[in-house]
Amino acid sequence: MPPPRKHNRLTRDIRAFSGFKFYLWGLNITVILNLFQKFVIQKLGGNTESFKIHYGDGTATSSRNDKQSSCKTQCGGWSDTLSYNDITNLCKTLVSGAAATLPHRGEGISNYNQIIYNNQPSPQPSPTGEEVSNYKMLKQVQHDTNSSKRTYSPIHLFSYSPCKRCAFTLAEVLITLGIIGVVAAMTMPSVIGHYKKQETISKLKKAYTSISQALKMSEIDNGEFEYWENGMSIGAGEYLQKYWLPYFNVLKICNKYTECGYKEIYPWNDLSGNKHTLTFSLDELRIPFITGDGILYSISIGRGSTVVEDSKIYIDLNGPKNPNILGKDLFVFERVKGKGILPSCYNYTENQINTNCSSTGNGFCCAQKIISDGWQISKDYPY
């Protein structure tokens, strides 16, 4: 009889603990496999059959042939010429709920690609040439169809995609430009005309203010203008130098019309379009000058073929620049005893002013018309 073994109870305890430990390991592996199966099922759309088709029936004995047979069983009898990956991809599409018609036996890989194109939500690329190209086009179509955000990438402008185009055609661009051109042609003349009117009023106010302030400052230094020396006696040049030029920012004195950029001695037209007989400068009548803001002032001391005293002041708002027309850029004022400087025709009636400042008049009364209308160029103004 063999001697009894020592520590039999300890040995049994160790063996029991080891068996329990292996049991726990097996349980943990089972739990992990179950969690992995649930995760894959969710990725495949929640269908247990999809898991079985893709990964077998869950047992360790499932082979490649078993899974291929399972896929054929699930999807129906099919062509033996297709590879395992082709069958699996199509079956995944069918099991996930997509509708498709299986090709007849022998139709080969081309029909399979068409089925994948129409139905497969997440295709796998085929390993060669034409199939890879089809797969890339399919991925682009699925991305554009499922994306809710419009993409303006240059790639999408030329890629194969049935989605809405992300660029304008040449015809659309040309039509849009044509519409913009028509609208601009209709609106720009009125906008430009309104701007020119406002510019004329602004410059006229400035010139009127400047000449009025110059007169007041000269009167402070030299007394009231009606008691100044007679310009006919001292000459236009001396009269200008003593009573007017010190109170302006003079840029240039124009002894001749060419010195200030004018082209002729009669540079101005009236509103009817006729050449006006107003001379630019005469040694014994007026010597114009241009200030730093480009405005020309021509202050008369005499007029007519004989020596006659004159109190007219001619103001050209933009100097030698066009249009050089009375009532548009040339305006007339005059010195009035006890009242300072007033626009020409200040004592005319409204009807007389409107007649003179019209397309048939000479334009001498246009400054008075603008001031009477509240420093505005009204609709009946011949601008």
Taking only the tens place, the pLDDT of each residue in 137-165 is 555 545 555 554 444 444 444 444 555 55
- Contact between 248 and 337 under an 8 Å Cβ cutoff? The reply is no
- Contact between 314 and 267 under an 8 Å Cβ cutoff? The reply is no
Per-residue pLDDT tens digits for 60-83: 444 455 545 555 555 554 445 556
Residue 53 — pLDDT band, cuts 50, 70, 90? very low
CA distances from 333 to 145, 242, 264 (A): 76, 20, 23
Average of pLDDT values for 347-363?
Answer: 94
The residue type of 88 is T
CA–CA separation, 142 and 140 (whole Å): 6
The residue type of 250 is V
Angle at which helix 84-95 crosses helix 108-119, to 10 degrees, equals 30
* Length of the chain measured in residues: 383
* Ranges of H-type helices in the chain: 8-43, 48-55, 64-75, 84-95, 108-119, 129-146, 154-158, 170-222, 231-234, 236-243, 350-356, 366-372
Per-residue pLDDT tens digits for 225-259: 989 988 888 888 899 999 999 999 999 999 899 99
Domain spans in the chain, listed from the N-terminal domain onward: 8-158, 202-372
Lateral strand order in the sheet of 250-253: 250-253, 289-291, 296-299, 312-316, 330-336, 340-343
Q: Could you tell me if residue 244 is left (phi over 0), alpha (psi between -120 and 50 degrees) or otherwise beta?
A: alpha
Higher pLDDT, 290 or 281: 290
The first and second tokens of residue 371, run together, are 């001031």
CA distances from 167 to 120, 137, 139, 145, 234 (A): 29, 20, 21, 17, 79
Q: Is the pLDDT of residue 169 over 60?
A: yes
The CA-based dihedral angle spanning residues 347, 352, 353, 357, taken in that order and rounded to the nearest 10 degrees: -150
Backbone CA torsion sign across 124, 129, 135, 136: positive
pLDDT of residue 223: 93
pLDDT of residue 39: 61
Q: Is the pLDDT of residue 171 over 70?
A: yes
